[in-house]
Amino acid sequence: MNATQTEWLVLGILDALISLTMIGAVFLAPKHLLFGLYVPEADRGSAEVGRIRGRHYGALVAVWILGLAVGVAVGLWSGGEWSEGSPEAAFGAALIIQIGGLIPVWRSGRAQALRLKQARNWRAEKPSKIVIDLLFRQRQRLVGNGWFLIHLAIVLLGAASAALHWDVIPDPVPTHFGISGEADEYSPKGFGAVFTLNIVQLGLIGVFLLVNMSIRQARQQLDPARPEVSREKQLRFRKAISAFIYALSLFVVVMLGLGQSVTLYGWPTERLNLAMIGLPALLILAVFGFVWYVARHGLDDVGSSPHVQEDEAWRGGFFYYNKADPALMVEKRSGVGWTINLAHPLGVLIFVGILLVPIAIVVLAAIFA
């Protein structure tokens, strides 16, 4: 098997893992929600709800197969046969179809859920009382923000090493490697070519730190019927997701550091090829495992929380906009974790800031290149 065929195989496996993660995240979604809509307990096991979920899973599989077929066609068209085609073009085309296809699939499923909600007159029963733990934030055992200094130290160490070894860094600098380990793209040695990955590392650390800080500030969702049980579940959930965010940040920083070392110092790529290919796959499996853990232990179960009746505040089931809610961060209705209240004065600023991070990284890299 030559290098191109190996790349076809590796990227094909990676595409399958990404698709399985997306499908698995939907499969493990909370049972009290259907496309962002609250489902009363009596209807959660109904045949109609099951059919809507089943059609959605089938549509996701169909989109994955379609994306795979389009990707293979693009790859073969670019080279004539699979031993000579472009696996990177195939991978990109497949992801565009598979990720872009999620939008119409979601809209179709949500439309069906809305019709069922109207037919069944689904309404969340408003609790007679609301429970708030005044010491909730003090009880949280999250990863301290100071621990992110370790990640910062790794970045500074990498940048300092590059500065001290400037004379031994090749010119031009290799900026892309194929599966075979051979460099196939180069850039003139300069600030951007040498330190771009450090800039990316700093930007991502900032994003992960912001997410960790937002976990502490997210609103409570205590079930009045069982406040102590729901409190412990939320505390465990927040601790787990904080640890996951910290580990993910460290993972990304180290992976980018390895890439920088290979680029600047000529480290043997043969030994790192498996790591650079296997680490993204391991990351995807870790995300899937985390979502499974949360769903398996019911850590995202809000019970009869007063916030379950907020269907109207969720635009499309994804975006939360509620001027009456003073909370900045609220629990997501799709996926795991929290999202921003876009009606909060800081909500839009944070949302725009997150979008600007990758744009700023690209612009800075272009300026300093």
Domain boundary among 92, 123, 154: 123
Q: Which residues of 88-117 are buried (b: 16+ CB within 10 A; e: fewer)?
A: bbbbebbbebbeebeeebbeebbebbbebb
Task: Output phi, psi for 56, to 5 deg.
Answer: -65, -45
* Most confident residue range from 76-80, 255-259, 333-337: 255-259
Is there a single domain that holds both residue 93 and residue 176? no
- Give 152's pLDDT tier (boundaries 50, 70, 90): very high
Higher per-residue pLDDT: 252 or 305: 252
Judge contact between 135 and 222, C-beta under 8 A: no
Whole-model pTM? 0.68
Which strand (E) or helix (H) includes residue 53? helix 47-79
Q: Are 188 and 52 in the same domain? A: no
Last residue within a domain, chosen from 123, 151, 176: 123
Domain that includes residue 159, residue range:
137-369
162 and 77 in one domain? no
Instruction: Assess if residue 130 is contained within a domain.
Output: no
Please tell me whether residues 157 and 21 are part of one structural domain: no
- pLDDT score of 3 more than 60: no
Residue 132 lies in a domain: no
Task: Provide, rounded to the nearest whole percent, the portion of the chain with pLDDT above 90.
Answer: 7
Task: Tell whether 193 and 288 lie within a shared domain.
Answer: yes
Rg over alpha carbons for the chain, rounded to the nearest Å, is 23
Do 103 and 215 lie in a common domain?
A: no
> Same domain for 234 and 99?
no
129 lies in a domain?
no
Are 340 and 228 in a shared domain? yes
Query: Confidence band (pLDDT; 50, 70, 90) for 62?
Result: very high
346 has pLDDT over 70: yes
Question: What pLDDT band is residue 196 in, cutting at 50, 70 and 90?
Answer: confident
Q: What is the pLDDT of residue 182?
A: 65
Same domain, 80 and 154: no
Element (H, E) at 116: helix 102-120
Mean pLDDT score across all residues of the chain: 77
Q: Phi/psi class of residue 316: alpha, beta or left (left: φ > 0; alpha: ψ in -120 to 50)?
A: left
> Both 99 and 193 in a single domain?
no
Number of domains in the chain: 2
Query: Quick one: what percent of the chain has pLDDT higher than 70?
Result: 75
131 assigned to some structural domain: no
Instruction: Give the mean pLDDT of 239-248.
Output: 86
Measured between alpha carbons, how far is 58 from 107 in angstroms, rounded to an integer? 15
Question: Which of the listed residues 123, 151, 181 is the one where a domain comes to its end?
Answer: 123
Asked if pLDDT for residue 147 goes beyond 90, the answer is yes
Pair 212, 184 in one domain: yes
Query: Contacts by 88-95 with C-beta closer than 8 Å and gap 24+?
Result: 88/7, 88/11, 90/8, 90/11, 91/11, 91/14, 91/15, 93/67, 94/15, 94/67, 94/68, 94/70, 95/15, 95/18, 95/67, 95/71
The residues near 49 (Cβ < 8 Å, ≥ 6 apart) are: 34, 39, 43, 116
At 206-238, the pLDDT tens digits run 888 888 887 887 777 776 777 787 788 888 888
Q: Are residues 74 and 151 in the same domain?
A: no
Query: DSSP labels for 248-299?
Result: HHHHHHHHHHHHHHHHHH---HHHHHHHHHHHHHHHHHHHHHHHHHHHHTTT
10 band by pLDDT with thresholds 50, 70 and 90: low
CA 358 to chain centre: 14
User: How many C-beta atoms surround the C-beta of residue 128 within 10 A?
Assistant: 7
Can you read off the two tokens belonging to residue 148?
């992110």
Which token pair is 295?
């769903």
Helix (H, G, I), strand (E, B) or coil at 313: helix
